[in-house]
A and B are shown apart, each in its own frame.
Chain A
Amino acid sequence: MSAEAEQTEKPKAAEPAPAAPEKVEAAKVEDKVAAKDDGNEAGDKEDGDNPYLAVANKPEVEVKKKGGKKKREVEIAVRLTQVTKRFGAKTAVDGVTMKIKAGLVYGLIGPNGAGKTTTFSMMAGYLKPTEGAIEMLGFAPTSVDELRSRVGVLPQDAILPASDTVGEFLLHMARLQDIPKDKAETAAREVLAEVDGRDWWKLRCSSLSHGMAKRVSLAQAIMGEPEVVLLDEPTAGLDPRIAYEVRQIVKSRRGRCTLIVSSHNLQELEEICDAAIILDRGRVVAHGTIQELTAASEEIHVKLAPMVADYRTGDAAPSLSAAIAGVRDLPMVKRVEFDEEKYELVVHFEKKTVDAETVIGGVLWVLLNHRARISSVSKGRGLEQRVMELT
């Protein structure tokens, strides 16, 4: 809210609002119920303890900016209510409801045809929902004047205008974002430097490689510090180095805005997102924090190597079953599974009584005492595995 902003309206809330954290910290949500599969809704549960997805009762405050333009300070950055999109007889998105809290990095996950891009396109105002309603920062996505410079979008397959130079394109976008003429070039050059393209100003957009074009496209999306940034497949088709750089740019925006990332790259999403929604055939199949989705606060995975004899003492190979039994006897452990094919131990625990780090310590202590050979340890089952289970 600008210094000149004048509060004109403050509607009463039905319930007192839980304090919303400015910065999201994953550890604070460990007591959140794991992602559920019982409905086509995300983030509308009565779970005030979840700072990621809970319905905020904090009232939306409508303020009037200088010049009379209305701007709402909102707790929920994006709200979809029973949104359906049909293309003829085909239903691409089927009654999706979700709420995304301001300040989050949120992933949209799903296989091809799950409805990710359609959902994304409706959020960006490219497509109109057949049914239901969408709000971006309290406004319809097509309310351009209210959302101008507050929402940045990286569309997936949009070609940059071939006849423009990079500088002309970014300058034009900056001017349309209402950045004053005397500051537009500085803003455009700064954001171009941020995507490591400071030398591209005079290059024609048609001469850019795929990676360069993607970064210019990203530059226009993050120009002017928008409050919500929608990124559709930000690293698709990029080589690993450029994809890494793009991820770093996205990460650097963490905490500065609400980021919604649609991607196939689950490792990437696991790395950069606070929370995610998993779509399949146009419906929500799971949602929650990454911790919840991967069950990172409920189970640990210990990858083992086959037991071998001790070459120094000549002792025979120890018994793996004894090691597993030792783990099972730990008081903090609820259940133990051993996957013989993967040679992996899955240790389940009660997240309300103990945290994953304590369990890892205890399990490793037992395994090492049984001379087990440990290849790796991880919290949860990984987003990829979770998505494979659900879709």
Chain B
Amino acid sequence: MSPATEVNLVMLRELRRNFRSVKGIILSVIALIGGTGASLLLVKFQEFKRTQFADMSPEDMTAIREKGLSQVYDTDTAKSLSTSPEVLFAVLMLTIWLTPLIISMLGYDTVASDVQYRSVRYWSVRARRWSYFLGKFVGLFLTISAITLAMHALVWVVCIARGEASAGATFGWGIRFWATTLPMSAAWCAIATFISALFRVPIWALLVTMAGFFGLWLLWVIGVAGDWPAFTYVYPNTYDKFLLSPHAWRAITGVGGCAAIAAVAVGAGMTVFARKDI
């Protein structure tokens, strides 16, 4: 049996496990309700803004948005994003910030619980350790991708139904924004799976995952505050600046950065897990 088949079988089971477990269902529902609720609030805010700034032309509004976005993104990216539906952009930001939390909650026991309850022993005689780990990582990543897609799709519906943007603009920007979250999710999932593989007790994996994610954010803060860019590159969410760029080479750099983090974490996880006594 090829390793790819093993990975595929483990991944399919992981998807089933995640969507069937109480934790997976609750997290999915919270993500969906949270996303929908946030989008409705944003729509209300848009209505409020329209009444307050009724005398301002759409061009002026776009210019103000561009100015605001340029505080975070480079000029071209800010210019490009300023024309996107605001609701969709807000949901993208929400997803970028929310995803690590969902991943830490869903991914901390992806390997650790199997080791704790020794269920992993049923797999270890049938699947290579590294393909088991890879299958777990891919399963977690696809679960998160499916949850964020569902969340975004709900917002797309709200966006079109409330007339915030045309269907073309909604799907165009919506799919792009959702796709932007994928490389960052992959990096977070890889780190979470790696940490999960280090522990036998899931609660330790959860605490270390959260501490690890916080530590990466702290490094990013230090990197930004101290003007040490190298520090910021270990934080997956920093790559949204690249991924949202209208220039392909910058977007590819963003994908590459996230892929590098994911590759390092997955590689380390596979190595550690293959040597681990289970």
A residues lining the B interface (CB < 8 Å): 124-128, 142, 144-145, 147-148, 151-153, 155, 157-161, 163-164, 168, 172-173, 175-178, 220
- Is B121 a contact of A124 with CB atoms below 8 Å? yes
**Which of B13, B20, B126 touches A177 (beta carbons < 8 Å)?**
B126
- Is B122 a contact of A220 with CB atoms below 8 Å? yes
Q: Given A127-B277, A153-B125, A178-B1: A163 and B118 within 8 A (CB)? A: no
**Which of A152, A159, A163, A176 touches B127 (beta carbons < 8 Å)?**
A176
Q: Tell me the nearest residue of chain A to B21, going by C-beta.
A: A163
How far is B126's CA from A220's CA once the two chains are assembled, in angstroms?
11
Q: Given A163-B17, A176-B9: A151 and B125 within 8 A (CB)? A: yes
**Which of A127, A145, A168 touches B16 (beta carbons < 8 Å)?**
A168
How far is B124's CA from A155's CA once the two chains are assembled, in angstroms?
11
Q: Identify the interface centre among B17, B20, B118, B122: most chain A CB within 10 Å of its CB.
A: B122
Q: Given A125-B125, A126-B278, A127-B277: A175 and B9 within 8 A (CB)? A: yes
Q: Which residues of B contact A151 (CB under 8 A)?
A: 125
Q: Which residues of A contact B13 (CB under 8 A)?
A: 164, 172
How far is B121's CA from A173's CA once the two chains are assembled, in angstroms?
12
How far is B125's CA from A159's CA once the two chains are assembled, in angstroms?
15
How far is B10's CA from A291's CA once the two chains are assembled, in angstroms?
45
Q: List 21 A-B contacts (CB under 8 A).
A: A124-B124, A128-B277, A144-B124, A144-B125, A144-B127, A144-B128, A145-B1, A148-B1, A148-B126, A153-B121, A153-B125, A158-B121, A160-B122, A161-B114, A161-B122, A163-B21, A164-B13, A176-B1, A176-B9, A176-B126, A220-B122
Q: Which residues of A contact B119 (CB under 8 A)?
A: 158-161
Q: Which residues of B contact A176 (CB under 8 A)?
A: 1, 6, 9, 123, 126-127
How far is B126's CA from A144's CA once the two chains are assembled, in angstroms?
6
How far is B109's CA from A355's CA once the two chains are assembled, in angstroms?
60
Q: Which of B88-142 contact A (CB under 8 A)?
A: 114, 117-129
Q: Tell me the nearest residue of chain B to A204, going by C-beta.
A: B20
How far is B117's CA from A230's CA once the two chains are assembled, in angstroms?
19
CB distance from A234 to the nearest CB of B (A): 15
**Which of A125, A142, A158 touches B118 (beta carbons < 8 Å)?**
A158
Q: Given A124-B125, A144-B127: A163 and B277 within 8 A (CB)? A: no
Q: Which of B1-51 contact A (CB under 8 A)?
A: 1, 6, 9, 13, 16-17, 20-21
Q: Which residues of A contact B121 (CB under 8 A)?
A: 124, 126, 153, 155, 158
How many chain B residues touch A (CB < 8 A): the figure is 25
CB distance from B133 to the nearest CB of A (A): 13
Q: Tell me the nearest residue of chain A to B1, going by C-beta.
A: A178
A152-B125, A158-B119 given. 13 additional CB < 8 A pairs? A125-B124, A125-B125, A126-B121, A126-B277, A127-B278, A144-B127, A144-B128, A145-B128, A153-B121, A155-B122, A158-B118, A164-B16, A176-B9
Q: Which residues of B contact A157 (CB under 8 A)?
A: 118
B residues lining the A interface (CB < 8 Å): 1, 6, 9, 13, 16-17, 20-21, 114, 117-129, 275, 277-278
How far is B123's CA from A173's CA once the two chains are assembled, in angstroms?
8
- Is A155 a contact of B118 with CB atoms below 8 Å? yes
Q: Tell me the nearest residue of chain B to A161, going by C-beta.
A: B119
Q: Tell me the nearest residue of chain A to B19, going by C-beta.
A: A163
Q: Which residues of A contact B127 (CB under 8 A)?
A: 144, 176
Q: Tell me the nearest residue of chain B to A127, going by C-beta.
A: B277
Q: Given A126-B277, A158-B117, A161-B119: A147 and B20 within 8 A (CB)? A: no
Q: Which residues of B contact A127 (CB under 8 A)?
A: 277-278
Q: Tell me the nearest residue of chain B to A205, going by C-beta.
A: B119
Task: Say what secondary structure dominates the interface of chain A.
Answer: loop
CB distance from B69 to the nearest CB of A (A): 43
CB distance from A332 to the nearest CB of B (A): 50
Q: Tell me the nearest residue of chain A to B10, going by C-beta.
A: A176
How far is B275's CA from A173's CA once the two chains are assembled, in angstroms?
23
How far is B126's CA from A158's CA once the two chains are assembled, in angstroms?
15
Q: Which residues of B contact A164 (CB under 8 A)?
A: 13, 16-17
Q: Identify the interface centre among B121, B123, B125: most chain A CB within 10 Å of its CB.
A: B125
How far is B119's CA from A148's CA once the two chains are assembled, in angstroms?
17
How far is B123's CA from A220's CA once the two chains are assembled, in angstroms?
11
Q: Which residues of A contact B278 (CB under 8 A)?
A: 126-127
Q: Tell me the nearest residue of chain A to B127, going by C-beta.
A: A176
- Is A161 a contact of B125 with CB atoms below 8 Å? no
Q: Tell me the nearest residue of chain B to A177, going by C-beta.
A: B126
Q: Which residues of B contact A144 (CB under 8 A)?
A: 124-129
CB distance from B43 to the nearest CB of A (A): 37
CB distance from A181 to the nearest CB of B (A): 11
Q: Given A155-B118, A158-B119: A163 and B125 within 8 A (CB)? A: no
Q: Which residues of B contact A155 (CB under 8 A)?
A: 118, 121-122
- Is B17 a contact of A173 with CB atoms below 8 Å? no
- Is B122 a contact of A173 with CB atoms below 8 Å? yes
How far is B50's CA from A47's CA once the two chains are assembled, in angstroms?
95
- Is B117 a contact of A173 with CB atoms below 8 Å? no
Q: Given A128-B275, A147-B125, A151-B125: A159 and B118 within 8 A (CB)? A: yes
How far is B123's CA from A158's CA once the two chains are assembled, in angstroms?
11
**Which of B1, B17, B124 touches A161 (beta carbons < 8 Å)?**
B17
Q: Which residues of B contact A177 (CB under 8 A)?
A: 126
CB distance from A127 to the nearest CB of B (A): 5
**Which of A147, A159, A220 touches B117 (beta carbons < 8 Å)?**
A159
How far is B124's CA from A142's CA once the two chains are assembled, in angstroms?
8
How far is B118's CA from A176's CA once the two chains are assembled, in angstroms?
18
Q: Which residues of A contact B277 (CB under 8 A)?
A: 126-128
How far is B275's CA from A147's CA once the two chains are assembled, in angstroms?
18
How far is B17's CA from A160's CA once the two chains are assembled, in angstroms?
13
How far is B9's CA from A148's CA once the two chains are assembled, in angstroms?
15
How far is B19's CA from A310's CA once the two chains are assembled, in angstroms?
80
Q: Which residues of A contact B117 (CB under 8 A)?
A: 158-159
Q: Which residues of A contact B16 (CB under 8 A)?
A: 163-164, 168
CB distance from A160 to the nearest CB of B (A): 7
Q: Tell me the nearest residue of chain A to B126, going by C-beta.
A: A176
